[in-house]
């Protein structure tokens, strides 16, 4: 019974990983790509958990921890970069300068 549940879960996580990769490659914005990357990393960690359950071993635990840490640090690095890059781009645009001169509160 557990083998059937693991197999079904593995298929569902595989499909979710493919959808996340689709979002990474064809996301309309950079934030969508970051969310797709994070979702793909979480799905792959779930697949490693299922492999560990199926093989009845704890060897993959260290790999899962390292992979989850890399996914988290990668997401934080992308968001930190966007936090510094987007305000600089916004302040250098002509439309932002016009709004600032008019006194628009939605800067």
**CA–CA separation, 56 and 2 (whole Å):** 12
Q: What is the pTM of this model?
A: 0.72
Q: Does 59 map to a domain?
A: yes
- Classify 34 as helix, strand or coil: helix
Q: Does 81 map to a domain?
A: no
Judge contact between 2 and 53, C-beta under 8 A.
yes
- Among all chains, which residue has been given the structure tokens 């960690």? 45
Q: Does 90 map to a domain?
A: no
Q: Does 20 map to a domain?
A: yes
The domain containing residue 50 runs over which residues?
2-71
Domain count across the chain: 1
Q: Does 17 map to a domain?
A: yes
pLDDT digits (tens, 9 = 90+) for 12-33: 999 999 999 999 999 888 888 8
- Among all chains, which residue has been given the structure tokens 């305000």? 87
pLDDT digits (tens, 9 = 90+) for 31-86: 888 899 999 999 999 999 999 999 988 888 888 999 899 989 988 988 888 877 76
What letters, b where the CB count within 10 A reaches 16 and e where it falls short, cover 20-36? beebbeeeeeeeebbbb
């Amino acid at each position: 019974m557990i083998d059937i549940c693991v197999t079904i879960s593995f298929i569902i996580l595989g499909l979710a990983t493919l959808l996340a990769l689709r979002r990474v490659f064809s996301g309309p914005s950079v934030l969508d790509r970051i969310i797709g990357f994070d979702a793909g990393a979480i799905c792959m960690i779930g697949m490693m958990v299922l492999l560990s359950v199926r093989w009845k071993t704890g060897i993959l635990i260290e790999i899962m921890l390292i992979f989850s840490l890399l996914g988290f640090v990668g997401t934080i690095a992308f968001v930190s970069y966007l936090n510094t890059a987007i305000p600089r781009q916004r302040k250098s645009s002509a439309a932002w300068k016009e709004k600032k001169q008019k006194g628009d509160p939605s800067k």
